[in-house]
Amino acid sequence: MTLRSQVLEFRAYQYEIFVGLDVDKRSIAVTFADRGELLKSMRMPYSSEHLVRYVRKLYPEQRIAFAYEAGPTGFGLYDDLMAEGYPCLVVAPSKVPTAPGQRVKTNRLDSKKLSESLRGGQLESIHVPSRAYRELRHLVQLRDTQVRQVTATKCRIKSLLLYEGKSFPSENGKWSQEVLRQLGEMPCSEAVRFKLNQQIETLRFHYKSALSAQKEIRRFCRTDPEIRQSIELLRSIPGIGWIVASHLVARLGDWREIKNVRQIAAFLGLVSTEHSTGEKENRGPITRAGDSRLRNKLIQSAWVTIGKDPELRAFYRRIYQRHTKKVAARKAIVAVARKLTTRIYAILKQQRPFVIRPDNSAAPLTAEETAGSRERLDAAQNDQPELG
């Protein structure tokens, strides 16, 4: 059973000592502060055991809180401190208050800044996923890496053929085992043949690796009842399959920690930027925050959804008609993806599958209204590296 991650509601007035940590792979810069002033700064080896022993010896019987920035060192330090009973905030670096004129950056100054901000209650922890969701993230990231390598290798092979003045064996540009066989038999010079063979072998390797990672994702998800349940619920939404559902669960983590319906869209960067003042509203493009791969997958899913769901098809058409032809399809499909996040929130929080509401009045989309959808659907297929 998946263990729920702990939700930390930090209240600065409840603590006496505030510890800012700047962590690298070998050491930790530590700054201690109480409610009135900074007490001391120091550097120690990167060891949670060493840090806990030192804190207990220096400040026994005092309420202590820690904070450090999310980064390549992961959540190991967070896990150890929480296990010892100390609250720890893992903070997004972009959310740490910084003076505009500050031009000097060192580990010591960063730890001092974290300590002062923690004391002032200015820091907000990111959602730290539980162990099972972190492991699923590793598998999803591995598959995405291999898929990107498959796509990149295909581009290298086509570039080589273009450079040598040779035609790609498939007229429609699609890849298959037959295409690979023809590439292997294509007449060319010795050096080009060696390079082409190497790229074909690289393509096969990354394809098999992506397929292996995808099988492991399915096995892992089936062994965890909570993750399996969330994926099955997400798959009830038209346009969302195993790949998108598993990526969503890996990135969103425990659905119980989702606070409101706007949180998923903000996490995926599907909300508009805004710079408004007074009565003037000025909204720009989407923020593009968060996981770009997941955002792209959700937009690809939206193209499939509008073909199956009459309600979202009508919504797509309304947004499409509000904009000029040049940007209408792009604006409308992003709005549909944003709408999908509200459905994701609803089915996860209510723990019930989605049911399509029939609407016979929703006519199929015209070719003009779906301009660009062919390219998006091709992109969706490229995320599933099939070779025939």
For residues 268-291, give the mean pLDDT. Answer: 86
pLDDT higher for 284 or 313? Answer: 313
- Measure the CA–CA gap between 152 and 167, rounded to whole angstroms: 19
Q: What is the DSSP string of 134-191?
A: HHHHHHHHHHHHHHHHHHHHHHHHHHHHHHTT---S-TT----HHHHHHHHH----HH
- Please give the mean pLDDT across all residues of the chain: 89
In terms of Cβ atoms closer than 10 Å to its own Cβ (0-12, 13-18, 19+), residue 358 is exposed
Q: Can you give the pLDDT at residue 361?
A: 64
Percent of the chain with pLDDT over 90: 72
User: 286: which strand partners?
Assistant: 272
Q: Can you give the pLDDT at residue 3?
A: 42
Q: Can you give the pLDDT at residue 382?
A: 46
The CA-atom distances, in angstroms, between 14 and each of 38, 90, 117, 118 are: 18, 18, 15, 12
Question: What does pTM read for this prediction?
Answer: 0.85
In terms of Cβ atoms closer than 10 Å to its own Cβ (0-12, 13-18, 19+), residue 35 is exposed
Question: Comparing C-alpha atoms, which of 26, 18, 21 is closest to residue 90?
Answer: 21
User: 29: which strand partners?
Assistant: 22, 43
Q: What band does 192 get if pLDDT is binned at 50, 70 and 90?
A: very high
Q: Can you give the pLDDT at residue 379?
A: 47
Token code pair at residue 10:
């930090």
Q: Can you give the pLDDT at residue 43?
A: 95
User: Contact, 19 vs 32, CB < 8 A?
Assistant: yes
- Measure the CA–CA gap between 61 and 163, rounded to whole angstroms: 72
List of E strands, the chain: 17-23, 27-33, 38-45, 64-69, 88-91, 272-274, 283-286
Q: Can you give the pLDDT at residue 383?
A: 59
Q: What band does 380 get if pLDDT is binned at 50, 70 and 90?
A: very low
Q: What is the CATH T-level fold of the domain 12-119, as seen in this structure?
A: Nucleotidyltransferase; domain 5 (3.30.420)
Asked if the model's pLDDT at residue 385 lies above 80, the reply is no
In terms of Cβ atoms closer than 10 Å to its own Cβ (0-12, 13-18, 19+), residue 303 is buried
Report, in this order, helix, strand and coil percent for the chain, each rounded to 5: 55, 10, 35
Asked if the model's pLDDT at residue 342 lies above 90, the reply is yes
Scan for tokens 């580990």, then name that residue: 107
**Residue 261: what are its φ and ψ, rounded to 5°?**
-70, -20
**In terms of DSSP H, where are the helices of 28-174?**
48-58, 76-83, 107-119, 131-163
**Residue 284: what are its φ and ψ, rounded to 5°?**
-115, -155
Q: Can you give the pLDDT at residue 348?
A: 96
Percent of the chain with pLDDT over 70: 92
For residues 79-83, give the mean pLDDT. Answer: 94
Token code pair at residue 190:
């010795």
- Dihedral sign of CA atoms 166, 169, 175, 180 in order: negative
Q: What band does 274 get if pLDDT is binned at 50, 70 and 90?
A: confident
Counts for the chain of helices (H) and strands (E), in that order: 13, 7
Q: Can you give the pLDDT at residue 371?
A: 67
- Starting from the edge strand earliest in sequence, which strands make up the sheet with 38-45, in order? 38-45, 27-33, 17-23, 64-69, 88-91
Q: Can you give the pLDDT at residue 329?
A: 92
| H or E, element range at 216 | helix 190-223
Q: How far apart are the first and last CA of the chain?
A: 38
Asked if the model's pLDDT at residue 48 lies above 80, the reply is yes
Q: Can you give the pLDDT at residue 99?
A: 85
Chain-centroid distance of CA 284 in Å reads 22
Return the domain boundaries, the chain. 12-119, 131-223, 228-382
Q: What band does 381 get if pLDDT is binned at 50, 70 and 90?
A: very low
pLDDT higher for 371 or 285? Answer: 285
